[in-house]
Chain A
Amino acid sequence: MVKVRFAQAWPQLLPLDGEHGGEDYVPPSLEDFDFEGLFGTDWINKPMLQLVISVILILGLMIPASRKLTVVPKKWQFAVEYVYDFVRTSIARTTIGHGYEKYTPFLVGMFMLILINNWFGEFFYFMFPTFSNIGYTMGLVLTVIVFVISSGIRQHGIKSIRMTLMPSSVPVYLAPLVIPLEFMSNYITRPLTLTVRLFGNMFAGHLGVMVFVVGGGWLISEGTSAIGFPTAIVKGAGFGAILLGMLVIGIELFIGFMQAYLFTLLTANYISQAVSEGH
Protein backbone atom coordinates (compact mmCIF):
# COMPACT_ATOMS: atom_id res chain seq x y z
CA MET A 1 0.00 0.00 0.00
CA VAL A 2 1.21 3.42 -0.89
CA LYS A 3 0.04 4.75 2.45
CA VAL A 4 2.25 2.36 4.35
CA ARG A 5 5.33 3.17 2.35
CA PHE A 6 4.77 6.90 2.89
CA ALA A 7 4.38 6.37 6.59
CA GLN A 8 7.56 4.35 6.76
CA ALA A 9 9.62 6.86 4.82
CA TRP A 10 8.36 10.04 6.47
CA PRO A 11 6.56 9.09 9.63
CA GLN A 12 6.48 12.71 10.79
CA LEU A 13 4.54 13.80 7.67
CA LEU A 14 1.90 11.11 7.81
CA PRO A 15 1.26 10.28 11.44
CA LEU A 16 -1.30 7.53 11.21
CA ASP A 17 -1.12 6.05 14.63
CA GLY A 18 -1.06 7.40 18.11
CA GLU A 19 2.60 6.88 18.81
CA HIS A 20 3.60 10.49 17.90
CA GLY A 21 0.86 12.53 19.45
CA GLY A 22 -2.49 12.44 21.12
CA GLU A 23 -5.41 10.92 19.30
CA ASP A 24 -4.95 8.96 16.08
CA TYR A 25 -5.22 10.91 12.88
CA VAL A 26 -7.83 9.43 10.55
CA PRO A 27 -7.37 10.83 7.07
CA PRO A 28 -10.48 11.60 5.03
CA SER A 29 -11.56 8.54 3.11
CA LEU A 30 -14.39 6.92 1.26
CA GLU A 31 -16.08 6.22 4.56
CA ASP A 32 -16.77 9.94 4.87
CA PHE A 33 -19.10 9.63 1.89
CA ASP A 34 -21.16 6.82 3.35
CA PHE A 35 -23.80 7.83 5.85
CA GLU A 36 -25.76 5.85 8.40
CA GLY A 37 -29.43 5.37 7.76
CA LEU A 38 -31.73 7.42 9.95
CA PHE A 39 -35.06 6.61 11.60
CA GLY A 40 -34.29 2.92 11.60
CA THR A 41 -33.94 2.65 7.82
CA ASP A 42 -30.83 2.28 5.74
CA TRP A 43 -31.95 4.56 2.94
CA ILE A 44 -33.00 7.77 4.70
CA ASN A 45 -29.59 9.35 5.16
CA LYS A 46 -27.96 12.75 5.13
CA PRO A 47 -27.58 13.18 1.36
CA MET A 48 -31.18 12.14 0.85
CA LEU A 49 -32.40 14.65 3.41
CA GLN A 50 -30.28 17.27 1.66
CA LEU A 51 -32.00 16.48 -1.61
CA VAL A 52 -35.40 16.79 0.04
CA ILE A 53 -34.41 20.07 1.68
CA SER A 54 -33.12 21.41 -1.64
CA VAL A 55 -36.41 20.52 -3.32
CA ILE A 56 -38.35 22.27 -0.54
CA LEU A 57 -36.05 25.32 -0.85
CA ILE A 58 -36.38 25.53 -4.63
CA LEU A 59 -40.10 24.98 -4.83
CA GLY A 60 -40.73 27.08 -1.71
CA LEU A 61 -38.88 29.95 -3.35
CA MET A 62 -39.92 29.57 -6.96
CA ILE A 63 -43.63 28.74 -6.71
CA PRO A 64 -44.62 31.76 -4.57
CA ALA A 65 -42.18 33.97 -6.50
CA SER A 66 -43.60 32.93 -9.86
CA ARG A 67 -47.11 33.81 -8.74
CA LYS A 68 -46.17 37.39 -8.00
CA LEU A 69 -44.20 38.17 -11.14
CA THR A 70 -44.66 41.64 -12.55
CA VAL A 71 -43.54 43.03 -15.86
CA VAL A 72 -41.35 45.60 -14.16
CA PRO A 73 -39.32 43.51 -11.69
CA LYS A 74 -39.27 44.37 -8.01
CA LYS A 75 -36.19 43.88 -5.89
CA TRP A 76 -36.74 40.23 -4.94
CA GLN A 77 -38.06 39.35 -8.35
CA PHE A 78 -34.91 40.68 -9.94
CA ALA A 79 -32.79 37.99 -8.25
CA VAL A 80 -35.20 35.15 -9.04
CA GLU A 81 -35.62 36.35 -12.58
CA TYR A 82 -31.87 36.69 -12.95
CA VAL A 83 -31.36 32.97 -12.26
CA TYR A 84 -34.33 31.92 -14.37
CA ASP A 85 -33.35 34.15 -17.25
CA PHE A 86 -29.74 33.01 -17.07
CA VAL A 87 -30.77 29.43 -17.86
CA ARG A 88 -33.58 30.45 -20.20
CA THR A 89 -31.53 32.83 -22.34
CA SER A 90 -27.90 31.86 -22.16
CA ILE A 91 -28.43 28.09 -22.02
CA ALA A 92 -31.82 27.13 -23.47
CA ARG A 93 -32.22 29.77 -26.16
CA THR A 94 -28.64 29.88 -27.40
CA THR A 95 -28.31 26.09 -27.49
CA ILE A 96 -31.73 24.88 -28.61
CA GLY A 97 -32.93 27.91 -30.55
CA HIS A 98 -36.43 27.80 -31.96
CA GLY A 99 -38.93 26.09 -29.66
CA TYR A 100 -36.66 26.30 -26.61
CA GLU A 101 -39.59 27.31 -24.37
CA LYS A 102 -40.77 23.70 -24.07
CA TYR A 103 -37.49 22.60 -22.51
CA THR A 104 -36.80 25.62 -20.32
CA PRO A 105 -38.70 24.34 -17.23
CA PHE A 106 -36.66 21.15 -17.08
CA LEU A 107 -33.38 22.96 -17.65
CA VAL A 108 -34.06 25.62 -15.03
CA GLY A 109 -35.13 22.95 -12.55
CA MET A 110 -32.03 20.84 -13.14
CA PHE A 111 -29.76 23.86 -12.89
CA MET A 112 -31.20 25.01 -9.57
CA LEU A 113 -31.28 21.49 -8.13
CA ILE A 114 -27.64 20.84 -8.98
CA LEU A 115 -26.47 24.31 -7.96
CA ILE A 116 -28.08 24.18 -4.51
CA ASN A 117 -26.91 20.65 -3.84
CA ASN A 118 -23.38 21.47 -4.96
CA TRP A 119 -23.31 24.51 -2.72
CA PHE A 120 -24.48 22.40 0.19
CA GLY A 121 -20.86 21.21 0.18
CA GLU A 122 -19.82 24.65 1.40
CA PHE A 123 -22.75 25.49 3.67
CA PHE A 124 -22.79 25.09 7.42
CA TYR A 125 -24.92 22.28 8.81
CA PHE A 126 -24.69 20.55 5.42
CA MET A 127 -21.02 20.59 4.44
CA PHE A 128 -21.61 17.81 1.96
CA PRO A 129 -22.20 18.05 -1.79
CA THR A 130 -25.12 15.69 -2.39
CA PHE A 131 -23.95 14.59 -5.82
CA SER A 132 -20.65 13.28 -4.49
CA ASN A 133 -22.78 10.23 -3.77
CA ILE A 134 -22.91 8.71 -7.21
CA GLY A 135 -26.31 7.07 -6.72
CA TYR A 136 -28.13 10.42 -6.69
CA THR A 137 -26.15 11.60 -9.70
CA MET A 138 -27.15 8.43 -11.56
CA GLY A 139 -30.81 9.05 -10.78
CA LEU A 140 -30.49 12.60 -12.03
CA VAL A 141 -28.75 11.56 -15.24
CA LEU A 142 -31.26 8.77 -15.92
CA THR A 143 -34.02 11.39 -15.70
CA VAL A 144 -32.09 13.62 -18.09
CA ILE A 145 -31.63 10.80 -20.62
CA VAL A 146 -35.32 9.90 -20.40
CA PHE A 147 -36.18 13.55 -20.93
CA VAL A 148 -33.85 13.85 -23.93
CA ILE A 149 -35.19 10.70 -25.60
CA SER A 150 -38.81 11.63 -24.92
CA SER A 151 -38.17 15.13 -26.29
CA GLY A 152 -36.94 13.55 -29.52
CA ILE A 153 -39.94 11.24 -29.70
CA ARG A 154 -42.38 14.07 -29.03
CA GLN A 155 -40.75 16.06 -31.84
CA HIS A 156 -40.27 13.39 -34.52
CA GLY A 157 -42.18 10.37 -33.28
CA ILE A 158 -40.55 6.98 -32.89
CA LYS A 159 -38.31 7.60 -35.89
CA SER A 160 -36.28 10.01 -33.76
CA ILE A 161 -34.51 6.90 -32.40
CA ARG A 162 -33.58 5.95 -35.96
CA MET A 163 -32.49 9.53 -36.67
CA THR A 164 -30.24 9.36 -33.62
CA LEU A 165 -28.66 6.04 -34.49
CA MET A 166 -28.38 6.62 -38.23
CA PRO A 167 -28.06 10.27 -39.23
CA SER A 168 -29.59 10.85 -42.67
CA SER A 169 -26.36 12.36 -44.05
CA VAL A 170 -24.49 9.08 -43.56
CA PRO A 171 -24.28 6.69 -46.57
CA VAL A 172 -26.14 3.41 -46.10
CA TYR A 173 -23.05 1.19 -46.42
CA LEU A 174 -21.59 2.83 -43.31
CA ALA A 175 -24.56 1.73 -41.20
CA PRO A 176 -22.80 -1.28 -39.60
CA LEU A 177 -20.14 1.09 -38.37
CA VAL A 178 -22.24 4.12 -37.50
CA ILE A 179 -25.14 2.50 -35.68
CA PRO A 180 -23.04 0.86 -32.93
CA LEU A 181 -20.98 4.03 -32.58
CA GLU A 182 -24.01 6.27 -32.27
CA PHE A 183 -25.62 3.83 -29.86
CA MET A 184 -22.50 3.90 -27.69
CA SER A 185 -22.26 7.65 -27.88
CA ASN A 186 -25.91 8.43 -27.17
CA TYR A 187 -26.99 5.79 -24.71
CA ILE A 188 -23.78 4.80 -22.93
CA THR A 189 -21.05 7.41 -23.17
CA ARG A 190 -23.27 10.44 -22.64
CA PRO A 191 -24.96 9.26 -19.45
CA LEU A 192 -21.68 7.89 -18.17
CA THR A 193 -19.72 11.10 -18.76
CA LEU A 194 -22.56 13.24 -17.46
CA THR A 195 -22.63 11.17 -14.27
CA VAL A 196 -18.91 10.88 -13.71
CA ARG A 197 -18.20 14.52 -14.49
CA LEU A 198 -20.62 15.84 -11.89
CA PHE A 199 -19.90 13.14 -9.34
CA GLY A 200 -16.12 13.28 -9.79
CA ASN A 201 -15.91 17.04 -9.41
CA MET A 202 -18.00 17.04 -6.29
CA PHE A 203 -16.30 14.00 -4.81
CA ALA A 204 -12.77 15.22 -5.40
CA GLY A 205 -13.64 18.75 -4.28
CA HIS A 206 -15.15 17.54 -1.05
CA LEU A 207 -12.19 15.24 -0.41
CA GLY A 208 -9.83 18.16 -1.00
CA VAL A 209 -11.70 20.37 1.41
CA MET A 210 -11.69 17.59 4.01
CA VAL A 211 -7.97 17.01 3.69
CA PHE A 212 -7.24 20.65 4.43
CA VAL A 213 -9.87 21.19 7.10
CA VAL A 214 -9.68 17.85 8.92
CA GLY A 215 -5.89 17.67 8.67
CA GLY A 216 -5.51 21.30 9.78
CA GLY A 217 -7.97 20.75 12.61
CA TRP A 218 -6.08 17.68 13.80
CA LEU A 219 -2.76 19.53 13.71
CA ILE A 220 -4.20 22.35 15.81
CA SER A 221 -5.99 20.17 18.36
CA GLU A 222 -3.83 17.05 18.58
CA GLY A 223 -0.51 17.94 16.97
CA THR A 224 2.49 18.12 19.29
CA SER A 225 6.22 18.39 18.92
CA ALA A 226 6.22 14.59 19.10
CA ILE A 227 5.84 14.40 15.34
CA GLY A 228 9.24 15.95 14.84
CA PHE A 229 8.61 19.71 14.66
CA PRO A 230 8.23 22.33 17.42
CA THR A 231 4.64 22.56 18.62
CA ALA A 232 4.31 26.16 17.42
CA ILE A 233 5.19 25.15 13.87
CA VAL A 234 2.80 22.20 13.98
CA LYS A 235 -0.08 24.38 15.18
CA GLY A 236 0.90 27.12 12.73
CA ALA A 237 0.82 24.59 9.89
CA GLY A 238 -2.63 23.61 11.09
CA PHE A 239 -3.82 27.22 10.83
CA GLY A 240 -2.22 27.51 7.40
CA ALA A 241 -4.02 24.37 6.28
CA ILE A 242 -7.37 25.70 7.53
CA LEU A 243 -6.80 29.01 5.69
CA LEU A 244 -5.95 27.13 2.49
CA GLY A 245 -9.06 25.04 3.13
CA MET A 246 -11.10 28.26 3.08
CA LEU A 247 -9.55 29.08 -0.28
CA VAL A 248 -10.42 25.62 -1.55
CA ILE A 249 -13.99 26.13 -0.32
CA GLY A 250 -14.12 29.34 -2.35
CA ILE A 251 -12.90 27.46 -5.41
CA GLU A 252 -15.45 24.74 -4.69
CA LEU A 253 -18.23 27.35 -4.73
CA PHE A 254 -17.14 28.29 -8.22
CA ILE A 255 -16.75 24.67 -9.33
CA GLY A 256 -20.20 23.89 -7.93
CA PHE A 257 -21.67 26.62 -10.12
CA MET A 258 -19.54 25.60 -13.08
CA GLN A 259 -20.69 21.97 -12.91
CA ALA A 260 -24.34 22.97 -12.59
CA TYR A 261 -23.90 25.21 -15.63
CA LEU A 262 -22.04 22.57 -17.62
CA PHE A 263 -24.53 19.83 -16.77
CA THR A 264 -27.43 22.03 -17.85
CA LEU A 265 -25.62 23.18 -20.98
CA LEU A 266 -24.83 19.61 -22.05
CA THR A 267 -28.42 18.56 -21.34
CA ALA A 268 -29.62 21.41 -23.54
CA ASN A 269 -27.14 20.35 -26.19
CA TYR A 270 -28.44 16.76 -26.15
CA ILE A 271 -32.03 17.98 -26.34
CA SER A 272 -31.09 20.24 -29.24
CA GLN A 273 -29.60 17.30 -31.13
CA ALA A 274 -32.59 15.09 -30.37
CA VAL A 275 -35.18 17.57 -31.64
CA SER A 276 -33.29 19.15 -34.54
CA GLU A 277 -34.38 18.32 -38.07
CA GLY A 278 -31.06 17.50 -39.65
CA HIS A 279 -29.80 14.96 -37.19
Chain B
Amino acid sequence: MTSGALYPLEINLGPLAPHHLSEVIVGIVVAGLIWFCFAKFISPNFDAMYQERARLIEGGIELAEKAQSEAEEMRKKYEEQLATADAEASSVREQARAEAASERTRMRAETQAEKDRLLEQTRNAIAAERDTVENQIRTEMGGVATALASKIVGESLEDDERAKRTVERFLAELASVPAQRA
Protein backbone atom coordinates (compact mmCIF):
# COMPACT_ATOMS: atom_id res chain seq x y z
CA MET B 1 0.00 0.00 0.00
CA THR B 2 1.51 3.30 -1.08
CA SER B 3 0.85 6.56 0.70
CA GLY B 4 -1.09 7.82 -2.33
CA ALA B 5 -3.70 5.05 -2.22
CA LEU B 6 -6.22 5.59 0.57
CA TYR B 7 -7.98 2.31 -0.13
CA PRO B 8 -6.44 -0.98 -1.00
CA LEU B 9 -7.34 -1.71 -4.59
CA GLU B 10 -7.95 -5.33 -3.84
CA ILE B 11 -9.58 -6.54 -0.62
CA ASN B 12 -8.57 -10.07 0.21
CA LEU B 13 -11.78 -11.78 1.22
CA GLY B 14 -10.01 -15.04 1.92
CA PRO B 15 -12.40 -17.97 1.96
CA LEU B 16 -15.34 -15.58 1.55
CA ALA B 17 -14.41 -15.13 -2.11
CA PRO B 18 -15.51 -17.83 -4.54
CA HIS B 19 -12.62 -19.56 -6.31
CA HIS B 20 -14.35 -19.37 -9.67
CA LEU B 21 -17.43 -17.64 -10.96
CA SER B 22 -18.45 -21.05 -12.29
CA GLU B 23 -19.18 -22.15 -8.72
CA VAL B 24 -21.92 -19.55 -8.38
CA ILE B 25 -23.39 -20.49 -11.73
CA VAL B 26 -23.31 -24.21 -10.93
CA GLY B 27 -24.97 -23.43 -7.57
CA ILE B 28 -27.78 -21.55 -9.32
CA VAL B 29 -28.22 -24.26 -11.96
CA VAL B 30 -28.34 -27.06 -9.38
CA ALA B 31 -30.76 -25.21 -7.10
CA GLY B 32 -32.94 -24.31 -10.08
CA LEU B 33 -32.91 -27.90 -11.32
CA ILE B 34 -33.93 -29.20 -7.91
CA TRP B 35 -36.67 -26.57 -7.69
CA PHE B 36 -37.96 -27.43 -11.16
CA CYS B 37 -37.93 -31.20 -10.64
CA PHE B 38 -39.62 -31.03 -7.24
CA ALA B 39 -42.31 -28.68 -8.54
CA LYS B 40 -42.89 -30.67 -11.73
CA PHE B 41 -42.35 -34.33 -10.92
CA ILE B 42 -42.24 -34.96 -7.20
CA SER B 43 -44.53 -32.66 -5.24
CA PRO B 44 -47.63 -33.16 -7.44
CA ASN B 45 -47.51 -36.86 -6.59
CA PHE B 46 -47.12 -36.13 -2.89
CA ASP B 47 -49.95 -33.60 -2.99
CA ALA B 48 -52.21 -36.10 -4.73
CA MET B 49 -51.40 -38.71 -2.09
CA TYR B 50 -52.04 -36.28 0.77
CA GLN B 51 -55.33 -35.24 -0.79
CA GLU B 52 -56.39 -38.84 -1.27
CA ARG B 53 -55.47 -39.59 2.33
CA ALA B 54 -57.42 -36.59 3.59
CA ARG B 55 -60.36 -37.64 1.45
CA LEU B 56 -60.31 -41.18 2.85
CA ILE B 57 -60.11 -39.93 6.41
CA GLU B 58 -62.94 -37.50 5.79
CA GLY B 59 -64.90 -40.31 4.13
CA GLY B 60 -64.45 -42.45 7.23
CA ILE B 61 -65.65 -39.64 9.42
CA GLU B 62 -68.63 -39.10 7.15
CA LEU B 63 -69.52 -42.79 7.35
CA ALA B 64 -69.37 -42.72 11.12
CA GLU B 65 -71.49 -39.58 11.18
CA LYS B 66 -74.06 -41.21 8.94
CA ALA B 67 -74.26 -44.28 11.16
CA GLN B 68 -74.66 -42.05 14.19
CA SER B 69 -77.45 -40.01 12.63
CA GLU B 70 -79.18 -43.24 11.60
CA ALA B 71 -79.00 -44.54 15.13
CA GLU B 72 -80.36 -41.23 16.39
CA GLU B 73 -83.26 -41.44 13.97
CA MET B 74 -84.01 -44.99 15.07
CA ARG B 75 -83.98 -43.91 18.70
CA LYS B 76 -86.41 -41.08 17.95
CA LYS B 77 -88.69 -43.46 16.11
CA TYR B 78 -88.73 -45.90 19.03
CA GLU B 79 -89.37 -43.10 21.47
CA GLU B 80 -92.24 -41.89 19.35
CA GLN B 81 -93.67 -45.38 19.17
CA LEU B 82 -93.32 -45.75 22.91
CA ALA B 83 -95.10 -42.44 23.46
CA THR B 84 -97.91 -43.48 21.12
CA ALA B 85 -98.31 -46.80 22.90
CA ASP B 86 -98.39 -45.00 26.24
CA ALA B 87 -101.06 -42.62 25.05
CA GLU B 88 -103.07 -45.47 23.60
CA ALA B 89 -102.94 -47.46 26.82
CA SER B 90 -104.02 -44.50 28.88
CA SER B 91 -106.89 -43.75 26.52
CA VAL B 92 -108.01 -47.38 26.68
CA ARG B 93 -107.88 -47.21 30.44
CA GLU B 94 -109.87 -43.98 30.42
CA GLN B 95 -112.45 -45.45 28.09
CA ALA B 96 -112.81 -48.54 30.25
CA ARG B 97 -113.27 -46.41 33.31
CA ALA B 98 -115.93 -44.33 31.59
CA GLU B 99 -117.69 -47.42 30.32
CA ALA B 100 -117.67 -48.96 33.77
CA ALA B 101 -119.12 -45.81 35.24
CA SER B 102 -121.90 -45.60 32.69
CA GLU B 103 -122.64 -49.30 33.14
CA ARG B 104 -122.90 -48.79 36.85
CA THR B 105 -125.30 -45.89 36.38
CA ARG B 106 -127.35 -47.88 33.93
CA MET B 107 -127.57 -50.88 36.25
CA ARG B 108 -128.48 -48.71 39.17
CA ALA B 109 -131.27 -47.13 37.15
CA GLU B 110 -132.48 -50.52 36.01
CA THR B 111 -132.49 -51.89 39.52
CA GLN B 112 -134.37 -48.85 40.73
CA ALA B 113 -136.94 -49.29 37.98
CA GLU B 114 -137.33 -52.98 38.80
CA LYS B 115 -137.73 -52.18 42.44
CA ASP B 116 -140.35 -49.54 41.67
CA ARG B 117 -142.14 -51.93 39.39
CA LEU B 118 -142.18 -54.70 42.00
CA LEU B 119 -143.33 -52.26 44.67
CA GLU B 120 -146.13 -51.06 42.43
CA GLN B 121 -147.10 -54.60 41.57
CA THR B 122 -147.17 -55.59 45.21
CA ARG B 123 -149.18 -52.56 46.10
CA ASN B 124 -151.67 -53.35 43.36
CA ALA B 125 -151.88 -56.96 44.49
CA ILE B 126 -152.49 -55.89 48.05
CA ALA B 127 -155.15 -53.44 46.93
CA ALA B 128 -156.87 -56.11 44.84
CA GLU B 129 -156.75 -58.56 47.71
CA ARG B 130 -158.22 -56.00 50.03
CA ASP B 131 -161.00 -55.25 47.54
CA THR B 132 -161.77 -58.95 47.28
CA VAL B 133 -161.78 -59.33 51.04
CA GLU B 134 -164.02 -56.31 51.45
CA ASN B 135 -166.41 -57.63 48.91
CA GLN B 136 -166.39 -61.00 50.59
CA ILE B 137 -166.93 -59.38 53.99
CA ARG B 138 -169.72 -57.36 52.60
CA THR B 139 -171.36 -60.41 51.12
CA GLU B 140 -170.84 -62.34 54.34
CA MET B 141 -172.10 -59.42 56.40
CA GLY B 142 -175.26 -59.50 54.28
CA GLY B 143 -175.69 -63.20 54.96
CA VAL B 144 -174.86 -62.76 58.61
CA ALA B 145 -177.21 -59.82 58.88
CA THR B 146 -179.91 -61.82 57.23
CA ALA B 147 -179.24 -64.77 59.55
CA LEU B 148 -179.28 -62.44 62.50
CA ALA B 149 -182.45 -60.85 61.31
CA SER B 150 -184.11 -64.22 60.88
CA LYS B 151 -182.89 -65.22 64.32
CA ILE B 152 -184.15 -62.03 65.80
CA VAL B 153 -187.37 -62.37 63.97
CA GLY B 154 -187.67 -66.05 64.96
CA GLU B 155 -187.08 -65.43 68.69
CA SER B 156 -188.47 -61.96 69.18
CA LEU B 157 -191.83 -63.14 69.65
CA GLU B 158 -191.00 -65.43 72.44
CA ASP B 159 -188.90 -63.30 74.64
CA ASP B 160 -187.59 -59.75 74.69
CA GLU B 161 -184.90 -60.86 77.03
CA ARG B 162 -183.69 -63.49 74.66
CA ALA B 163 -183.74 -61.08 71.74
CA LYS B 164 -181.60 -58.72 73.72
CA ARG B 165 -179.09 -61.49 74.42
CA THR B 166 -178.97 -62.50 70.80
CA VAL B 167 -178.15 -58.99 69.71
CA GLU B 168 -175.46 -58.74 72.33
CA ARG B 169 -174.02 -62.07 71.26
CA PHE B 170 -174.02 -60.98 67.71
CA LEU B 171 -172.30 -57.80 68.57
CA ALA B 172 -169.71 -59.73 70.52
CA GLU B 173 -169.18 -61.96 67.54
CA LEU B 174 -168.71 -58.98 65.40
CA ALA B 175 -166.24 -57.47 67.81
CA SER B 176 -164.11 -60.57 67.75
CA VAL B 177 -163.66 -60.14 64.01
CA PRO B 178 -160.53 -57.92 63.57
CA ALA B 179 -161.73 -56.30 60.39
CA GLN B 180 -161.10 -52.62 60.05
CA ARG B 181 -162.07 -50.23 57.38
CA ALA B 182 -159.39 -48.04 56.24
CA of A156 to CA of B138, assembled, Å: 142
Q: Is the CB of A142 within 8 A of B27?
A: yes
CA of A183 to CA of B34, assembled, Å: 28
CA of A8 to CA of B45, assembled, Å: 64
CA of A52 to CA of B22, assembled, Å: 14
CA of A70 to CA of B45, assembled, Å: 10
Q: Is the CB of B20 within 8 A of A43?
A: yes
Interface string of A102-139 (1 = CB under 8 A from B): 00111011101100000000000000000001111111
Number of A residues near B (Cβ < 8 Å) is 47
* Contact of A25 with B by CB under 8 A: no
Number of B residues near A (Cβ < 8 Å) is 36
* Contact of A143 with B by CB under 8 A: yes
CA of A95 to CA of B159, assembled, Å: 164
CA of A106 to CA of B31, assembled, Å: 9
Q: Is the CB of A138 within 8 A of B49?
A: no
Q: Is the CB of A71 within 8 A of B23?
A: no
Q: What residues on A are CB-neighbors of B49 within 8 Å?
A: 69-71
Q: Is the CB of A136 within 8 A of B27?
A: yes
Q: A71-B52, A139-B25, A196-B16 are in contact. Are A51 and B42 (CB under 8 A)?
A: no
B35 to chain A, nearest CB (A): 5
Q: A134-B18, A139-B25, A142-B27 are in contact. Are A55 and B34 (CB under 8 A)?
A: yes
CA of A44 to CA of B132, assembled, Å: 161
Q: Is the CB of A69 within 8 A of B27?
A: no
A84's contact among B30, B34, B41, B46, by CB below 8 Å, is which? Answer: B46
Q: What residues on A are CB-neighbors of B28 within 8 Å?
A: 139-140, 142-143
CA of A199 to CA of B27, assembled, Å: 13
Q: Is the CB of A143 within 8 A of B24?
A: no
B47's contact among A47, A101, A106, A109, by CB below 8 Å, is which? Answer: A101
8 Å CB interface, A203-230 against B? 203
Q: Is the CB of A143 within 8 A of B22?
A: no
